[in-house]
């Protein structure tokens, strides 16, 4: 006679088998379909609070390519942290928010001039359902069409940008470049630089376009809590878009990126800053520039997945 088991049967492949978009369910990190944080794959956003969308684009890079593979790598790395509520946040965002994985943004790589509008259109389709969007890139240019879609819905935005570079170098109309997209965004009136802040900067740019800059040295000297308080004073209660270029981190912690710069933030500094930003009126988010070909033991992808999950916690604190 078989013994009665006291082990609760597990249902694998939560990306397809989960029946609720709420809650955290443990699944073997080494197996199963790799959605972001084991959320359900769907294009049906009825009832969804947040959609995760990959943007596998890297045709705008100025150095090493490969960020088109970032969304896949971040989803895979997220399986290592999807089994439990995120520490040390007091609440599990998936108990407060219905979060789904919307899959990847689709576009024709052979017609690069059309891609910005294709990205913006797919973001618009998500936002039109009153579902918030957390995007996973892709190189940092993707933030520009994403900002277009968000600004159309919410009006000009405050921007909080974690990055090694300001991405405000002057450009010409119509160019696609991951180092100039914020020059375009300011000229288009998508963001208000006076109510925006760039964190972790450690490269020269003669024209910051009015953005408030908290460089890496200031972070190291004053610490993440002081930085978070300064961010909150700058953005106030304005609707805010949060973008995190993974090269904001020190390359020792995030080598898998296209334009690494030494002297960056530690993962602790980045996470602690986000944790202390509760109160920011967050309306949209992205994590970009993960290039897995240059990664070591998936530590860059794991950092990006964890930071993206922290963003969900931050969003839940404001909207849950």
Binding site members: 140, 163, 165, 167, 245, 247
| Furthest-apart CA atoms within the chain: distance in Å | 78
Instruction: Say how many C-beta atoms besides its own lie within 10 A of residue 198's C-beta.
Output: 27
Whether the CB-CB separation of 136 and 53 falls below 8 Å is answered with yes
Could you identify the residue written with the tokens 């993707």?
142
Query: Cβ neighbours of residue 36 under 8 Å, at least 6 residues apart?
Result: 52, 74, 75, 78, 101, 136, 305, 308
- As a 3-state breakdown, the chain gives helix, strand, coil percent values, each rounded to 5, of 35, 15, 45
Instruction: Provide the annotated binding site for Mn(2+).
Output: 140, 163, 165, 167, 245, 247
- Please give the backbone phi and psi of residue 253, each rounded to the nearest 5 degrees, phi first: -100, -15
- 42's tokens: 């769907």
């Amino acid at each position: 006679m078989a013994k009665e088991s006291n082990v609760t049967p597990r249902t694998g492949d939560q990306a397809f088998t989960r029946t609720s978009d709420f809650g955290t369910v443990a699944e073997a990190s080494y197996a199963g379909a790799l959605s972001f944080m084991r959320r359900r794959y769907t294009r049906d956003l009825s009832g969804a609070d947040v959609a995760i969308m990959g943007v596998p684009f890297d045709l705008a890079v100025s150095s090493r390519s490969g960020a088109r593979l970032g969304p896949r790598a971040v989803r895979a790395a997220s399986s290592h942290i999807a089994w439990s509520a995120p520490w040390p946040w007091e609440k599990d965002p998936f108990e407060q928010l219905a979060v789904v994985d919307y899959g990847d943004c689709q576009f024709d790589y052979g017609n690069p001039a059309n891609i910005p509008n294709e990205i913006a259109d797919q973001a618009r389709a998500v936002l039109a359902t009153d579902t918030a969007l957390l995007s996973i890139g892709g190189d940092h240019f993707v933030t520009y069409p994403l900002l277009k879609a968000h600004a159309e819905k919410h009006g000009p935005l405050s921007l909080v940008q974690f990055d090694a570079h300001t991405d405000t170098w002057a450009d010409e109309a119509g160019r696609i470049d991951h180092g100039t997209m914020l020059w375009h965004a300011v000229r288009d009136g998508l963001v208000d630089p006076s109510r925006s802040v760039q964190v972790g900067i450690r490269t020269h740019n003669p024209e910051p376009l009015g953005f408030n800059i908290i460089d890496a040295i200031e972070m190291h000297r004053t610490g993440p809590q002081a930085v978070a308080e300064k961010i909150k004073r700058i953005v106030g209660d304005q609707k805010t878009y949060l973008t995190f270029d993974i090269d904001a981190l020190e390359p020792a912690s995030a080598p898998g990126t296209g334009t690494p710069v030494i002297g960056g933030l530690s993962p602790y500094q980045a996470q602690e800053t986000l944790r202390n930003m509760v109160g920011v009126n967050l309306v949209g988010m992205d994590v970009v520039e993960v290039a897995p070909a240059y990664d070591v033991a998936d530590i860059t992808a794991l950092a990006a997945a964890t930071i993206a999950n922290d963003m969900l916690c931050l969003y839940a604190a404001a909207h849950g």
